[in-house]
């Protein structure tokens, strides 16, 4: 199973998102620290979940990284996170 597929499965189980986008951005970091041939080291996620309501940006990011704790550091070297409630996502 790919890293992105593992991420999707874990984030869906932990956060029940209404929207989840996972983008492998490893190709943008070729030659930089943590880059591996074949990619799957640098990711950006957009997670929209009701469970983020009332949480700060840092708390939301912690919820995402906690769900991915086994992957953080290796194989995930870098993770950009945009975490919103459904209402925030609709507001744009």
**Interval 37-56: pLDDT, tens:** 667 899 999 999 999 999 99
CATH classification at residue 22: 3.30.300.90
Which residue in 67, 59, 55, 76 sits closest to 16, CA to CA? 67
Predicted local distance difference test score (pLDDT) of residue 92? 82
Task: Reply yes or no on whether the pLDDT at 32 is more than 80.
Answer: no
In this prediction the pTM is 0.89
- Residue 42: count of CB within 10 angstroms of its CB: 22
Q: What rounded mean pLDDT belongs to the chain?
A: 92
Predicted local distance difference test score (pLDDT) of residue 85? 98
Q: For residue 29, what are the domain limits? A: 3-91
Total domain count, the chain: 1
């Amino acid at each position: 199973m790919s890293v992105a597929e593992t991420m999707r499965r874990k984030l869906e189980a932990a956060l029940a998102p209404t929207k989840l986008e996972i983008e492998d951005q490893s190709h943008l970091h070729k030659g930089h620290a943590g880059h591996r041939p074949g990619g799957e080291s640098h990711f950006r996620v957009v997670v929209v979940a009701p469970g983020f309501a009332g949480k700060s940006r840092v708390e939301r990011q912690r919820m995402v990284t906690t769900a991915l704790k086994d992957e953080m550091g290796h194989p995930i070297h870098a993770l950009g996170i945009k975490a919103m409630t459904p209402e925030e996502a609709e507001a744009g």
